[in-house]
Amino acid sequence: MSLFVLADLHLCKGAPEKTMSIFNGWEDYQERIERNWLELINENDTVVLPGDISWGMSLAEAALDFHFINELPGQKIIIKGNHDYWWTTMKKMEEFLAAEKLDTIKILHNNHYAYEKYGICGTRGWVNMPGESQDEKVLKREVQRLETSIRSAIAEDLEPIVFLHYPPIFATNFNYDILEVLYRYKIKDCYYGHIHGRSAHELCVKNTYDDVNFHLIAGDYLQFIPEKVL
């Protein structure tokens, strides 16, 4: 039984016109995701998917992508990304999963999931990068969600591992509000996606910084190979 992570699937089974295959490094990416997943993951494993999962604009349009994920081996834990426009209330998403019999998918949102002695925690996060405005209201909400998730794990004597969609650090830009939560709760490992392209990958923190081990797990960076966490 192992824990894996892979962000930025950008599936488009229900919206093929939105394929990422037109970009360098993304050729046949959906087929590569499936092939690599089947080679590495078995039914007893768990895979965290931190955002940008489906290009579907609604749950109905994303249904084919969810069924694709559901039929792959293992349990899946999903987090919202900036392109997950299908994301709605927890109640509606859980009703959708139940109605579609998507029984291997769980939603990480103001909660955590136990994995051995660890708590799988996280949220989307928010931006603090050049050219992107920082919305204080959204940022405060994301900070609160991250803290709620971490505290729920600690309350059950679990060691939190944090998964985000947005990077807390990118190049010379620091999201101090998110970082403060990581530091305060002494988070050892933080996994994040969102960043694409070789030149941008080079600007990412992919090592230990201020006692936190940062891991870039964007799909194209990992060449669509799920990375083992535990």
Q: What is the DSSP letter of 54?
A: B
CATH number, domain at 29? 3.60.21.10
Match 């994040």 to its residue by tokens.
192
Rounded CA-CA distance 144/149 in Å is: 9
pLDDT at position 199? 96
DSSP labels, 29-73: HHHHHHHHHHHH--TT-EEEEES--B--SSHHHHHHHHHHHHHSS
The token pair that represents 37 in the structure block: 């997943």
Total domain count for the chain?
1
Rounded CA-CA distance 114/67 in Å is: 24
pLDDT at position 197? 97
pLDDT at position 227? 98
Compute the chain's Rg from CA coordinates.
16
pLDDT at position 85? 97
pLDDT at position 132? 63
pLDDT at position 133? 65
pLDDT at position 135? 84
pLDDT tens figures, 25-84 = 999 999 999 999 999 999 999 999 999 999 999 999 999 999 999 999 999 999 999 999
Going by C-beta distance under 8 Å and a sequence separation of 6 or more, which residues neighbour residue 147?
A: 181, 185
Closest by Cα among 13, 4, 2 to 69: 13
Domain span holding position 109: 3-228
**Predicted model pTM:** 0.96
Containing H/E element for 172?
none
B/e letters for 34-44, b = 16+ CB within 10 Å, e = fewer, are eebbeebbeee
pLDDT at position 127? 81
pLDDT at position 136? 84
Going by C-beta distance under 8 Å and a sequence separation of 6 or more, which residues neighbour residue 202?
A: none
Question: Which residues of the chain are modeled with pLDDT < 70?
Answer: 129-134
